[in-house]
Amino acid sequence: MWQVNNDGYYGEFGGAYIPEMLFQNIENLRGNYLQIISSDSFQKEFQLLLRDYVGRPTPLFKADRLSDQLGTNIYLKREDLCHTGAHKINNAIGQILLAQALGKKRIIAETGAGQHGVATATVCALKGLECIVYMGAEDMQRQAPNVARMRLLGAKVIPVLSGSKTLKDATNEAIRDWISNPDDTYYLIGSVVGPHPYPDMVARFQSVISHEIKSQLLAATGNENPDYVIACVGGGSNAAGAFFHFLENKKINLIAVEASGQGIHSGKSAATTQLGSIGILHGSKSLVMQTKDGQVTEPYSISAGLDYPGIGPMHAHLYTSGRATFLSATDQEALSAAYELARLEGIIPALESAHALAALSQISFRPQDVVVVNLSGRGDKDMAAYENLYEPELQ
Amino acid sequence: MALLADLFQQKKNILSIYFTAGIPNLNDTTSILNSLEKSGVNLIELGMPYSDPLADGPVIQKSSDVALKNGMSIEILFKQLKQFREENNSYSIPIILMGYLNPVLQFGVEKFCMTAKSLGIDAVIIPDLTPEVFEKEFQETFRKAGIVNIFLITPQTTEARIRKIDSLSKLFIYVVSSAGVTGTQANDDFKEKYFARLQSMKLKNPLLIGFGISTRKDFSLACKYAQGAIIGSAYIRQLEGAKGIEEITPQFINSILHESK
């Protein structure tokens, strides 16, 4: 009941609210994606690349010092160790193989933190495909290392100057590119957002995360099911992957952590479930941060990857149905959690993943609990922010 | 729907002008409507601005931004339209509302349809409302209020789907002239082949062609194959200039309707 239905909805959320200019391409995807991605030849190449190129399975690491401090058992799913530094590449490989099966030659993508853009540029280089990445001008500034990486990988990075100059606007611009280039172009969405079948497709490609967690937990603890799975949510792709195989087991607490920026009611926040209402954004019905007139409002988070005024329809359904618990972390809480992980475990997390870590102190765990935190990405790209905002008292 | 239906029965070479409500200033809507009507425009598509207009190119995007910054909303637009209809005491020029689904949803679809109807509006264009979603979720509400939803077709729309859209449609079908957002120019050869293909399909609904129509030449080409055409970005670009609406509108409309001397 948590997966997408035949009409492309999760409960009341999802669907395809798209202009006619996109219909043929979306219909083509919808009609073919399941058959293509479940075929033997696709799975063979996908699994091989995940193993030999991405470096999967990523470790499930028992964080002992953090566990001691919190009086419970914390396991980190090390997606930060994926090639290119985040979980985004799982989806990029899946969709590029799909694009090739559909005969597309030109790949376009939007990116917020730049991780999805880097992953897309990487796989395009691997496959010799043209790659165009739309990125908000504001994000290009705060994630400069990723812009340089994309360019080095041969991608063309196009700055987006409309709206808040962040992920929402980059997504608009990528969609406009697809409208203008319907024949040869494939739009590679990086999160579980967009019109059906994108949310389902991206969730399936990311589901490798929870698939691995299960077998790794079984080996480590004798039980494949944790008590908690915790992941940050912008659009929600890493959370979708980390939750995927645990959705049906209601004993498992699924915790999604949104970015509340400078505070939920500060006017500078991206906590969509707290601030949003039902609306349509980027082709699907979901929870959206908007004015009473239905204008999408500009979100804010220190983390470019969570700076999005919507949330995937699957997560909107998990939220309204109560299947998942939604918490939030401020910029400051995320920074503190990142510093703490660096000091306790020698791991510098991405600012996005730091939000998931920040939620740990908001939950009362029992000593016997098994808690999995999806460490979706590494912090190299955020070093400028970490250095600039370094607090001496933490030394 | 006497106004619009009459127009399509009586008139060839229909010139429809799109502009975003709320530009250049919040309260310019009625003067622009008046100037367009006086200049010989047959149909007006009044844009309801939206923060994320996916199908629009830079000119209409910018106009939406300006309109929203000026404070435009569906509620205010309805007030302005009421004033326009009362002042003129006439419903002589047909008006279609055009905008994205989300603001309409938040306003309330039923209230939106009923209010529009009471202002003499017969039809709306909501580009991100697919025929599939329309049939499933909104058809009944629209029908009860007597509002027609106009559907779009594009060069990518298959023949079978064009037939389906034709059977769902009333009044007219909006033909997007090329692959692209509003304001995109395609080459004439491509357009002409596409228009001829549509003409030969002998659809039951008349066609209006839009996207990339900016000059008298574009307009004439469209009118060869369809009952008329829609100009948006080109007119909005004029409104961005320094001259007054009273001067701009007749000049621009004349340049479309008449050979330059």
Residue A179's closest CA among B7, B70, B53?
Answer: B53
The last residue of a domain, from among A180, A202, A224 = A202
Contacts of A294 in chain B (CB under 8 A): 50, 102-107
Residue from the list B61, B105, B184 with its beta carbon closest to the beta carbon of A180 = B184
Q: Are residues A173 and A289 in the same domain?
A: no
Q: Are residues A194 and A294 in the same domain?
A: no
Average pLDDT over residues A54-61: 98
Average pLDDT over residues B163-182: 93
Average pLDDT over residues A86-109: 98
Per the domain annotation, does A2 fall within a domain?
no
**pLDDT, tens digit (0-9, with 9 covering 90-100), for B9-28:** 999 999 999 999 999 999 99
pLDDT of residue A393 exceeding 60, the answer is no
**pLDDT, tens digit (0-9, with 9 covering 90-100), for A140-150:** 988 899 999 99
Per the domain annotation, does A5 fall within a domain?
no
Domain count, chain A: 2
Q: How confident is the model at residue A392 (pLDDT cuts 50, 70, 90)?
A: low
Average pLDDT over residues A219-226: 98
Instruction: Give me the percent of chain A exceeding a pLDDT of 70.
Output: 98
Per the domain annotation, does A1 fall within a domain?
no
Average pLDDT over residues A77-104: 98
Asked if A281's CB is within 8 angstroms of B130's CB, the reply is no
pLDDT value for A143: 87
Q: Is B56 a catalytic residue?
A: yes
pLDDT of residue B91 exceeding 80, the answer is no
pLDDT value for B225: 96
Mutate to test the interface with B, among A18, A166, A179, A285 (most CBs of B within 10 A): A179
Burial A226-263 (b: 16+ CB within 10 A, else e): bbbbbbbbbbbbbbbbbbbbbbeeeebbbbbbbbbbee
> A-B interface: how many C-beta pairs under 8 angstroms?
107
* CA dist list (Å): A59 to A78, A138, A215: 5, 34, 11
Q: How confident is the model at residue B82 (pLDDT cuts 50, 70, 90)?
A: very high
pLDDT value for B241: 82
Q: Are residues A357 and A385 in the same domain?
A: yes
Q: Are residues A176 and A31 in the same domain?
A: yes
Q: Are residues A116 and A254 in the same domain?
A: no
Q: A20 with B157: CB under 8 angstroms? A: yes
The last residue of a domain, from among A170, A202, A234 = A202
Average pLDDT over residues A378-393: 83
Q: Are residues A185 and A265 in the same domain?
A: no
- Tell me the backbone φ, ψ of residue A372, rounded to 5 degrees: -105, 125
pLDDT of residue A33 exceeding 90, the answer is yes
Burial class (CB in 10 A: 0-12, 13-18, 19+), B261: exposed
Contacts of B68 in chain A (CB under 8 A): 295
Interface residue A182 vs chain B (CB under 8 A): yes
Per the domain annotation, does A176 fall within a domain?
yes
pLDDT value for B92: 78
Q: How confident is the model at residue A173 (pLDDT cuts 50, 70, 90)?
A: very high
Per the domain annotation, does A6 fall within a domain?
no
Ramachandran sector of residue B182 (left: φ over 0; alpha: ψ -120 to 50; beta: rest) = beta
Domain residue limits at A142: 11-49+88-202
Q: Is A173 a catalytic residue?
A: no
Which residues contact residue A10 at a Cβ distance below 8 angstroms, ignoring those fewer than 6 apart?
Answer: A2, A3, A4, A199, A313, A314, A316, A317
Full DSSP string of A67-99: HHHHTSEEEEEEGGGSTTSBTHHHHHHHHHHHH
Average pLDDT over residues A4-17: 97
Tokens of B74: 């569906």
Give the residue, B56 or A391, on which the prediction is more confident: B56
The alpha-carbon radius of gyration of chain B (Å, integer) is 17
Q: Are residues A37 and A129 in the same domain?
A: yes
Asked if A20's CB is within 8 angstroms of B176's CB, the reply is yes
Full DSSP string of B52-78: --TT--HHHHHHHHHHHHTT--HHHHH
Per the domain annotation, does A3 fall within a domain?
no
Interface residue A20 vs chain B (CB under 8 A): yes
* CA dist list (Å): A99 to A29, A105, A189, B236: 9, 8, 12, 38
Q: Are residues A153 and A279 in the same domain?
A: no
Per the domain annotation, does A377 fall within a domain?
yes
Which residues contact residue B204 at a Cβ distance below 8 angstroms, ignoring those fewer than 6 apart?
Answer: B166, B167
Tokens of B139: 């058809």
Q: How confident is the model at residue A395 (pLDDT cuts 50, 70, 90)?
A: very low
pLDDT value for B242: 75
Q: Kindly report the CATH number assigned to the domain that includes residue A19.
A: 3.40.50.1100
Q: How far apart are CA A354 and CA A340, in angstroms?
A: 10
pLDDT of residue B153 exceeding 60, the answer is yes
pLDDT value for B2: 62
Distance from CA of B51 to the nearest CA of A (A): 5
Tokens of A122: 């990487």
pLDDT value for B139: 97
Q: Are residues A384 and A365 in the same domain?
A: yes
Q: What is the mean pLDDT of chain A?
A: 96
Average pLDDT over residues A176-192: 96
Q: What is the mean pLDDT of chain B?
A: 94
Nearest-by-CA chain A residue for B127: A19
Q: How confident is the model at residue A391 (pLDDT cuts 50, 70, 90)?
A: low
**pLDDT, tens digit (0-9, with 9 covering 90-100), for A304-352:** 899 999 999 999 999 999 999 999 999 999 999 999 999 999 999 999 9
Least confident of A263-272, B24-33, B239-248: B239-248
Q: Are residues A229 and A378 in the same domain?
A: yes
Choose, from A284, A285, A376, A381, the residue flagged as catalytic. A376
pLDDT of residue A229 exceeding 80, the answer is yes
Tokens of A200: 């389902």
Domains of chain B are 13-150+214-257 (3.20.20.70)
pLDDT value for B181: 84
Per the domain annotation, does A25 fall within a domain?
yes
Q: How confident is the model at residue B36 (pLDDT cuts 50, 70, 90)?
A: very high
Q: How confident is the model at residue A157 (pLDDT cuts 50, 70, 90)?
A: very high
Q: Are residues A171 and A40 in the same domain?
A: yes
Q: How far apart are CA A237 and CA A191, in angstroms?
A: 5
Contacts of A23 in chain B (CB under 8 A): 130, 154, 156-157, 161
Give the residue, B58 or A216, on which the prediction is more confident: A216
Q: Which amino acid is at A306?
A: L
Distance from CA of B151 to the nearest CA of A (A): 8
CB atoms under 10 Å from CB of A40, counted, come to 7
Asked if A294's CB is within 8 angstroms of B107's CB, the reply is yes
pLDDT value for B260: 67
Q: Are residues A263 and A381 in the same domain?
A: yes
Q: How far apart are CA A94 and CA A111, in angstroms?
A: 17
pLDDT of residue B1 exceeding 60, the answer is no
The alpha-carbon radius of gyration of chain A (Å, integer) is 19
The last residue of a domain, from among A185, A202, A219 = A202
Interface residue A311 vs chain B (CB under 8 A): no
Interface residue A290 vs chain B (CB under 8 A): yes
Tokens of B30: 């009625």
Give the torsion sign (CA, A291, A293, A294, A298).
negative
